[in-house]
Amino acid sequence: MYTLYFAPGACSMAAHVLLEECSADYEVKPVALAKGEQRTEEYRKINPHGKVPALAVNGKVITQNAAILPYIAGRFPDANLLPSDPVDAANCVAVVAWLASTVHPAFSLALHPERPAGG
């Protein structure tokens, strides 16, 4: 069973969508970002960076969508979330990495101009 720590409406919803699409056995633990739950000592034990998403798998934790999404796709090959050709699959992961490293920070800044860079 997987445990997904996510924030409704945040980019962590992507992992939630994939788990649902794969019919995975999972539970969700919402993290209230507006209340600062991601900065609590309890949550920092799960993800020391204090970010969502975090996916708990058999006592281990994977963080960052760029790692979580390919992991889920790889665990559920029958869901056909990644191409079977290794180069095509790598190019899909490259798009996820680009979204995480380029688009997401710009989008976050546009939505929250009051936040400091990197916050």
Here the CATH number for the domain that contains residue 34 is 3.40.30.10
Please report whether residue 96 resides in a domain.
no
| Selection from 34, 15, 49 nearest residue 115 by Cα | 34
Is 85 in a helix, a strand, or coil? Answer: coil
Q: Is the pTM of this model over 0.85?
A: no
Q: Report which secondary-structure segment, H or E, holds 65.
A: helix 65-75
- 54-57 and 2-6 beta bridge pairing: antiparallel
Range of the domain at 45: 2-81
Q: Are 30 and 6 in contact (CB under 8 A)?
A: yes
Listed range (43-47, 61-65, 98-102) with the worst mean pLDDT: 98-102
Residues 30-53 have pLDDT tens digits of 999 989 999 999 999 999 999 999
Is 50 in a helix, a strand, or coil? Answer: coil
Please report whether residue 88 resides in a domain.
no
Instruction: Count how many domains the chain has.
Output: 1
